[in-house]
Structure 1
Amino acid sequence: MADASPAALARQLLAILHKDGDRLRRIDDYLHGRHDDPYMPPQADDEYRLLARRAVSNWMPLLVGTPAQALYVDGYRPGQAADGLPAAVETTTPEWAHWQRSRLDARQAAVYRGALTYGHSFTVTEKDAAGLVRTKGLSALKTSALFEDPANDDVPYAALTVTAWPSGETRGRARMWDARYEYAVTFRGLVDETGLAVSRVRRHGSTECPVTRFASLVDLEGRTLGVIEPMIALQNRINQTIFDLLVAQTYASVKVRTATGMAPPIKRDPETGDPVLDENGNPIPLPINHNARRFLFAEDPDVKFGSLDETPLGGFIDSVDMSIRHLAAVSQTPPHHLLGQIANLSAEALLAAETALSRKIAEFRTAFGESWERVFRLAAELSGNRGSEDYQGEVIWRDMESRSLAQAADALGKLKEQLGIPAKGLWKRVPGVTQTEYENWEELSEEEDSIRQLSTAITRATSTGELAEAA
């Protein structure tokens, strides 16, 4: 870097927010159902525009929520214990205490959803006013980070998050971190260099920037990509097809009755019987009260009645179904998640349908797991623990696969009997078991072992005494 001063870093970070702002706001609009209008003729009236608004069928939250609901960190295994042996997963480490203090059991979901939506999200790990270490999420819409190698580095050399946007004469405010200090930043605009002011606040306590990036996909150019942006074109196609369906359904889905050679009745003066004329001298026609319970007849034999067929809607419905299937294939989302068609599917068919989704979730877990491991190292450093250099630690993801307890018990029993795997080694594979439950089972097992050993010792002592008396 030619200029690494705090003011120069702040200018670069604000410029990144300005550059990415339009793209990220467009993604945010599509997530919340604010989509581009389908094509309409230039002279479209209010009824057309109402149908266009009703044509929006927002599939984006499902594309984000489906993989996000399978991402849940349930524990952390340090690389080594104090004795140098591989450490067991436990919830009594200072790193996991920081996790619970930050309420990340619930708040981790927002980090994943942000990364899946925009391509990246952030967390900051720091000490609070009471000196306790906490981690909180930061929005991609308000946060930017600088990397020397954005494709390969997991440690930014500077990061900034906006806490208040500028409004009128009120300046915007932001927090910025580098490898040693935290700074307070005020600015008039994202590209207004004259209104920028940076002041040092404190030393944050880490040896590197305390902001961690969570990226769902990073290419070798350092660009991040979420699950929404590639799907915008398909979402627009679905909206257009549904709009065409609504137009056809509104204007052309019923038979049109026609009559030729017959003039409508006209309004007449009740006293004279003469036609009542409008301001242009034309007779005023009377409205015809016609509905499904009434029929028309004419005395004139030259009157012809007919009908115009309705527009078939099946083609529009098939087109919507096809577009949704394309969306499922491109996004690696099982079709039954989008279409709701799950009847008559065997367990093997369901497993095959969810294979692509499982692979995508495994990719996300690998990427997000590395980010959480850095968060745990930062928390250990701020807490003064040796885990700050632990690059062998790993997060434990909850098994979210849908298996019945009976199936799992049968499979685990066979693993124990046929392969000789110890029972304790299979406890973690019980569906839905949490780390706290696992530790509770270990304590209960140790208590049972102690009671069993005591009972065995008493039995042996009693048997030995009886044999001695008999002798």
Structure 2
Amino acid sequence: MPQPPAVESPEWWRDRLYAALCKRTEQTNVYDAYYECEHPLPFLHEKAREPFRRLLKMSRANYMELVVDALVGRLEVAGFQADTLDAGGGADDRAWALWQDNNLDGGSQLAFLEAAIRGTSYLMVSPPERGRAGYRITPEHPTQVITEARPGSPGDLAAALKLWLDDWNGRLCCTVYLPGNIYKFDAPEPLAGGKPAWVRRAVTGEEWGGKNTLGEVPFGELANRPRMLKPGASELRSVTGSQDRINKTIADRMMTQEAAAFPQKWATGMEIPVDDNGQEIEPFNIAVNKILIAEESGAKFGSFPAASPEGYLKAAEADVRDIAAITSTPPHYLLGSMVNLSAEALKAAEAGLIHKIYQRRRFLEEGLERTMRLAGIASSQARIVWKSPEWRTEGELVDALVKMSTLGVPREVLWERWGATPQEIERWRRLNEEALQRAMAGDLAAEYGPKPLEEADVDLQVE
């Protein structure tokens, strides 16, 4: 029987992290399915399930996507700003150039989205190679990457695993990252539930177990709503049950519409005719332009009232409001109803969402700052600047800034409060300096330049 690998050996980390990654992926696949509107079909009795399958599929109203997008849509990095005034803007410019060079305007949004859905995502830092001048930063999916910190030191990553399936050769590949070295393995794609038969993966021009030039595990973890002893969690963790209730209510409403939304007519006191085979014949051909007539004197006609969907609509709305309350999502985002809402009412409705965004950003910043530090930008030199998540009218904002200016607040701070990025602020500062220099040059020319000739002098010169 083969001996288990030694603790903290590359093989030990490979097996340990692979098992943890598979377990986490299985758990978070549920939330990914809810975000993609692949909800479980509402419950029905087996005999009724097949005839109503089309209605069941139509009953899925995806509020989970709205909950996630309301958060992620306001998580946007605007730039980087030095903590000290004497930094000269160099750290800002280097950080922003690195950010743009790696297309992280969009890449960061992808990472934030996966973190909100599955609880965590990653940014990977690769050293310069193949003629590339700067570091490479790539967003990584949480089903392909997992990290582990040293016991008792949450910020000190001990190892990481990156896993992927090579579609070209059908082999499962993984790379183990340790602070000192990098180890690569591959295996035939295992059967469902099977354990891969790993072997060392040889790469042309590379030594197996090559040196990790960064000297650290090259990942920044973007955790969503983590706890002290628990990892990041999905924004959907507490509301999937509410989504299921909504789907069930909609399914019941649609079946009611299908079977009882139209008044059903009845008749009594009359004989039902039969055909030659003794089968009953429907006595009336009911239509809008026809009336019902019976020859029997005791015949009576009537109709059952149509079923009202009002109860179903109220039940679904109550569950939607539960989702809004639990996730701090403004109710009008989910219900789509805005009737005579003042600016103050809208601001109050979004207060919970704004607070949640600020809270989520604190933990995301930890992973972003680690990523930039691994890429050579010290977090003490350039801090992350986010775009404001608050939406205010232009009149409100201008009025507030004018009042702040009377208190002696520097104009650069006012520009920042306006929402300008650090790059825009630097450009505006330069434009102001150039305008001031032109104005000073014009004043000097007016003071010390050639004087205009008086009228008497002009007459003398003419004579």
Shared fold by TM > 0.5? yes
* Alignment-derived partner of residue 314 in structure 2: 318
* Alignment-derived partner of residue 398 in structure 1: 387
* Alignment-derived partner of residue 176 in structure 2: 176
Structure 1: gaps of 5 or more residues: 268-274, 381-386, 467-471
Q: Tell me if 1:74 matches 2:73.
A: no
SS of alignment partner, residue 175 of structure 1: strand
Equivalent in 231, 241, 244 of residue 236 of structure 1: 244
Amino acid at match of 2:143: L
Distance 1:176 1:286, change over 3 A: same
Tell me, yes or no, if the aligned pair for 2:264 and 2:305 is still in contact at 8 Å.
yes
Distance 1:177 1:263, change over 3 A: farther
* Alignment-derived partner of residue 469 in structure 1: none
Amino acid at match of 2:418: V
- Report the Cα offset of residue 227 of structure 1: 0.3
Q: Tell me if 1:461 matches 2:448.
A: yes
Tell me, yes or no, if the aligned pair for 1:15 and 1:191 is still in contact at 8 Å.
no
* Alignment-derived partner of residue 255 in structure 2: 247
| Number of aligned residues | 439
Between the aligned partners of 2:90 and 2:397, the Cα distance in structure 1 is: 22
Tell me, yes or no, if the aligned pair for 2:223 and 2:231 is still in contact at 8 Å.
no
Between the aligned partners of 1:463 and 1:176, the Cα distance in structure 2 is: 77
Q: Tell me if 1:350 matches 2:346.
A: yes
* Alignment-derived partner of residue 436 in structure 1: 423
Per-residue CA distance 1:199-224 (angstroms, 9 max, x = gap): 53643421210011100111121332
Distance 1:154 1:295, change over 3 A: farther
Tell me, yes or no, if the aligned pair for 1:156 and 1:212 is still in contact at 8 Å.
no
* Alignment-derived partner of residue 424 in structure 1: 412
User: In angstroms, what is the RMSD of aligned CA positions?
Assistant: 2.7
Distance 1:80 1:374, change over 3 A: farther
Equivalent in 220, 226, 232 of residue 212 of structure 1: 220
Amino acid at match of 1:107: G
Tell me, yes or no, if the aligned pair for 2:81 and 2:422 is still in contact at 8 Å.
no
Distance 1:45 1:462, change over 3 A: closer
Between the aligned partners of 2:311 and 2:413, the Cα distance in structure 1 is: 56
* Alignment-derived partner of residue 307 in structure 1: 303
* Alignment-derived partner of residue 398 in structure 2: 409
Tell me, yes or no, if the aligned pair for 1:154 and 1:371 is still in contact at 8 Å.
no
Tell me, yes or no, if the aligned pair for 2:223 and 2:232 is still in contact at 8 Å.
yes
* Alignment-derived partner of residue 122 in structure 1: 122
- Report the Cα offset of residue 463 of structure 1: 9.9
Distance 1:45 1:36, change over 3 A: closer
Amino acid at match of 1:129: R
Between the aligned partners of 1:354 and 1:177, the Cα distance in structure 2 is: 42
Q: Tell me if 1:37 matches 2:24.
A: no
Between the aligned partners of 1:288 and 1:212, the Cα distance in structure 2 is: 74
Per-residue CA distance 1:331-379 (angstroms, 9 max, x = gap): 1001011111222111111111111100000011111112111111111
Tell me, yes or no, if the aligned pair for 1:6 and 1:198 is still in contact at 8 Å.
no
Between the aligned partners of 1:156 and 1:91, the Cα distance in structure 2 is: 27
Structure 2: gaps of 5 or more residues: 202-207, 454-463
Between the aligned partners of 1:408 and 1:245, the Cα distance in structure 2 is: 46
| TM-score, length basis structure 2 | 0.87
Q: Tell me if 1:14 matches 2:18.
A: yes
Equivalent in 356, 360, 368 of residue 360 of structure 1: 356
Between the aligned partners of 1:463 and 1:411, the Cα distance in structure 2 is: 46
Distance 1:427 1:3, change over 3 A: same
Per-residue CA distance 1:32-61 (angstroms, 9 max, x = gap): 111122121221153322221111111111
Amino acid at match of 2:433: E
Per-residue CA distance 1:225-281 (angstroms, 9 max, x = gap): 1101221111111111111111222111221100123344445xxxxxxx3x2xxxx
Deviates more, 1:49-58 or 1:434-443: 434-443
SS of alignment partner, residue 373 of structure 2: helix
Between the aligned partners of 1:314 and 1:30, the Cα distance in structure 2 is: 27
SS of alignment partner, residue 237 of structure 1: helix
Tell me, yes or no, if the aligned pair for 2:145 and 2:161 is still in contact at 8 Å.
yes
| TM-score, length basis structure 1 | 0.86
* Alignment-derived partner of residue 136 in structure 2: 134
Between the aligned partners of 2:156 and 2:130, the Cα distance in structure 1 is: 25
Amino acid at match of 1:76: F
* Alignment-derived partner of residue 5 in structure 1: 9
Q: Tell me if 1:298 matches 2:302.
A: no
- Report the Cα offset of residue 195 of structure 1: 0.6
Between the aligned partners of 2:91 and 2:388, the Cα distance in structure 1 is: 17
* Alignment-derived partner of residue 51 in structure 2: 47
Between the aligned partners of 1:283 and 1:74, the Cα distance in structure 2 is: 78
- Report the Cα offset of residue 315 of structure 1: 1.1
Amino acid at match of 1:123: L
Distance 1:233 1:194, change over 3 A: closer
SS of alignment partner, residue 154 of structure 1: strand
Tell me, yes or no, if the aligned pair for 2:272 and 2:280 is still in contact at 8 Å.
no
